[in-house]
Amino acid sequence: MRRLQLTEAEQGETDTLVGRFLDAGHDWDPLVAAEAATAAAPGLPLRLREFLAGARTAESDITVVSGIPLDPALVPTPTGWEAAAKSAAGRREEAALLLCGSVMGDAFGWESQQEGRIVHDICPAPGMESSLTSASSEKTLSLHTEDVFHPCRADYVALLCLRNPDGVGTTVASVEDVDLPAEVRGTLAEPRFRFFPDDSHSGPVPGREGGPAAYPEERVLFGPEHAPYLRFDVDFMAGADVAAAEAVRVTDALLRSSAGRVVLHPGDLVFIDNYKVVHGRDPFTPRYDGEDRWLKRVNLLRDVRRLYAQGRVRSRLVPA
């Protein structure tokens, strides 16, 4: 894990850049703002840019920046992402997230997720306490690769903490820290697994109507043999045979036993390498009093042209 604490001067530089960015009118259209953020990011403090560039080059599994300036008059935590979208809550923090995130990758979203918004709100919603989505609270979120089912899933998941009064932990486990048995490792490297969209995707999603058979059999471990990448979500994947199903069970147990916790505080920004690290969340009791845990999330690609080629259109939204 790599960490950087911004100095007061660097916080001031960042805050000034965010203000200029919003004054330029980029805040009204997230799709435009995502591209504008890339152009404006050289205005971030040099030490911050060098730190993030180094983390990207080294393929750091978890990267944390502390001291991202937040609005001193931050509004109460919305009761779900729909409420946040309607009120444009946390717009200043969205701009800060886009600016910093653009150093690591290209921001993108999903037509089927949070109504196509680029920056997502992660906060508990009434009635969703036990769901398998980020709107849940009382149910543990299992360790998972973000959007495990799709070839254009994020290279990085970036989370900016606005509130976390109860110190709710983000659970993380790296493929590099798991000693998989040789037989299991061999099975995971073969195309014997199907991956499905999670419950945060609404409306039409490619393959969903066709059921499990509509999804191709793919690998859990892929890439360099000596340091493979990982795609895994025990709740939204299935082995195609008995041995593959057992490999899923063993891998899940080993990941859970090796997992650690990252407790984000207001102003903390974490980048999770979605190719090397699975993440989840501890359960907590929601307050619904305006002081609940609240994060902003953005998905990042190291090369947005992967998305353009897959979707056959120049758009930062993965088509439904």
Greatest alpha-carbon span in the chain: 58
Residue 185 known to bind ligand: no
Q: Any idea of the CA torsion for 109, 161, 273, 183, to the nearest 10 degrees?
A: -110
Residue 256 known to bind ligand: no
DSSP sequence for 257-299: HH-EEEE--TT-EEEEETTTEEEEE-------SS-S-EEEEEE
The answer to whether 156 and 300 have CB atoms below 8 angstroms apart is yes
d(CA 118, CA 37): 12
- Per-residue b or e along 258-297, where b marks 16 or more CB atoms closer than 10 Å to that residue's CB: bbeebebebbbbbbbbbbbbbbbbeebebeeeeebbbbbb
Residue 8 known to bind ligand: no
d(CA 71, CA 128): 28
List the one residue out of 185, 175, 129 whose CA is nearest residue 274. Answer: 175
Residue 120 known to bind ligand: no
Residue 150 known to bind ligand: no
Q: Are strands 277-281 and 169-174 parallel, antiparallel or unpaired?
A: antiparallel
Cβ contacts of 208 within 8 Å, gap of 6 or more: 196, 197, 201, 214
Q: How far apart are the first and last CA of the chain?
A: 35
Residue 293 known to bind ligand: yes
Q: Are strands 317-318 and 106-110 parallel, antiparallel or unpaired?
A: parallel
Give the total residue count for the chain.
320
User: Which H or E run includes 95?
Assistant: helix 91-104
User: Which H or E run includes 19?
Assistant: helix 8-23
Residues of each annotated binding site for 2-oxoglutarate: 171, 293, 297
Residues of each annotated binding site: 144, 146, 171, 279, 293, 297
Residues of each annotated binding site for Fe cation: 144, 146, 279
